[in-house]
Structure 1
Amino acid sequence: MKILKVSEQISIKRSIESGTTEQLAIVKGIIQEIRTRGDKALREYTEKFDRVNLSSFSVTEGEIETAYHKVDEGFVSIVREAAENIRSFHEKQLRPSWMTTEENGTILGQKITALDSVGVYVPGGTAAYPSSVLMNVIPAKVAGVKRIVMVSPPDSEGNLPPAVLVAAKEAGVEEIYKVGGAQAIAALAYGTESIASVDKITGPGNIFVALAKREVFGDVDIDMIAGPSEIAILADEKARADEIAADLLSQAEHDTRACSVLVTPSMSLAEEVAEEVEKQLALLPRKEIAARSIEDYGAIYVAADLDEAVETVNQLAPEHLEVMTENAMELLGKIRHAGAIFIGRYSSEPVGDYFAGPNHVLPTNGTARFSSPLNVDDFQKKSSVIVYSKKALTDNAAKIAEFARMEGLEAHARAVEIRLENDNK
């Protein structure tokens, strides 16, 4: 693992997944086909890409019941406890609507309303991601969304992973479809005979899913276009090299484009961690993926002191940030940019991935400078409420009209003045 001075180039940014011209053309074609031919096109794409011909896309209650028999009771218990932790955390994010009344009778306020419907995309293929189900569905439920639709690509037998179905049931999803890829995003955005459209789409996916989400944005809302996973660890000489190496590799095994970075003022720790990464890497089942990630996007940055290390972390604005220093909590106030901040050696990043409660859908690629984790607000919208009294309009009509005329909008001015003229007749 390469060791660099902070004075050298510092970045976790990778090229945005804008896709190739060919990939974008494929996605646009799929979306158009779904919009014009609905279920027929959806069935054809499912057969082409997932190699299964489905008579129905819906997951039945029987399939969910079977899924419970295929997983350990212990796993179900873990899912329930994780779901409760996630629910409890997100319930604290709820905000009420509010109104204020001025002395002149004016009432101003904000009405918070849950979205009517949300579609959650859960990746499929060779892996199962029940944690993704919980993290996307539960905040929507807490926000008050009435209709939550889950889509996920089926295997060649036409099934979804049992763990995913169990997580969906525990999270409260009542509408599940066996469709994936860009065709699933198009179905959620525009609807087919089997799948009614939604107002917002959340959840990660491959490049074709990401491109499809980008294409349908504006007709529906989306959560974000998330890039490959990343972690930065801020550590001093008191931290353990083997624990840091394990945490760096926990992100590297995700994807060959995942980014794992250590920032430290200690050269001795940097050298120990580099050695430990190589040692642990050899033992990983996904060592080829992790090794490529570490080679291309991994780095250890050595700072002059802890203050420079903290500022380096703020420049990186990582998705995940672990703080493994002496008196780590004292640094929290100095950290401005990170998707999720894990304080202390017992707060390893997987704690947040699966169990603690905060959402693991986080801003990547440096976007933590201006964006936040998926949260309850993402599933609600705000409406301003304005109730002007006669006195308030009388007091302010001339100012409003003058402002309107300054912008060259005479009808705006007249819309205010006509009310006072009518009252004076």
Structure 2
Amino acid sequence: MSRRPEAFILIAQQEWELNLGSNARNLAVEFSKTQPVLYVNPAMDIKSIFKQIKTAHGRKRLKLALGFGEATVKISETLWVHTPQSISHSINWLKSISLYNFLNERNAKGFFGSLKKAIKELGWKNENSVVFNDSQMFTGLFTKKYLQPLLSFYYIRDNLTEHPYFKFHGSRIEPQTIALADAIFANSAYLADCARDYNKISLDIGQGCETDMYDADFSYPEPSDLATIAHPRIGYVGFLTGERLDIDLLEQVANANPSWQIVLIGPEEIMFQQSSLHAIKNVHFLGSKKPSQLPSYIQHLDVCMNPQLVNALTIGNYPRKIDEYLAMGKPTVATDTPAMQMFLPHVELAIGADGYKKAIEQALLPQNPEGRMAAINCAKGHTWEACVKQIYAVQEQLLTTAVSKETVIN
């Protein structure tokens, strides 16, 4: 058996076609710069069929799941996307552990059966491939049993077991999946520390960010919907969800100083839609924007913020938007969490409304040119290339150790 991988198999949480800007997609592209990569979409489950059957995308996914159509599509010379030709049982609601375990393994068997077929069609061998699992904990439990890859890596970018969907079964299954993997990679020190309880080879590889599209020295046109809002503008750019952002904190900050214009840019989920923020005069909702528009909005804010809600789900999060803010040279205020320590001294950290008020006042002061440039360089240093280099270093160490053991045995 070769001791050098011929391909990377990236098992993803999100479909490639949806293009939601996931870490897995970015990593797949970076991996593909040096070797062939197969990005694997999640399998379709019965519940999703009923939810999506009326959409063109849902019907397309169902046809592929049933075995009709091209399941493996070439994206570039070294990158392919595979959609599993299998349908998973929707079992998260089951309280019976034994029944859940039986059906979960059955789901995994179908998933890996389709994946092995795709690997064979590409002319690769699964035993010469490295699997990189993007937090697909339930499927990942059976990676070595049904795929038997050269190496199996597990990637943690969120404390998913605190999410209601994953909590009941994930809290017992993810530790098993972590223990079975050859190495664990996380995008924050907090998550790596948590994983180390079950697998000693757990490494914080940081986070990449597409900072090339953010040019602090370029003069972007001011968006028309932002131009009508007075200064100072204190803004947040990203998905507005009550699971991760502190709505009460935002209300208190807005009311603390009516002259501050709180600008919220991004799609809203139900908790934000129903919040009293919409009744506060100095709070402005500008809705969703295309990624290419974000540099313009960020540049014309006076202060950027990340009013994160601190709970078990979010405490280990790497706040990717901080890199975007800093890359644009913007004064930044964020909730003080373990993951934010790495951004010091380039951000103002705060806890609670009083802390935010003081931090925003400090951030509104004239910027020091040297400090601004240091913050930009900090953000620009967080690249996917840097993340992948650390993964390859661990891979090389594991393969070298394995070869050494074989040599001793022989």
Q: TM-score, normalised by structure 1?
A: 0.34
Q: Which has the higher contact order (CA 8 A, sep 6+)?
A: 1
Larger Rg: 1
Q: TM-score, normalised by structure 2?
A: 0.34
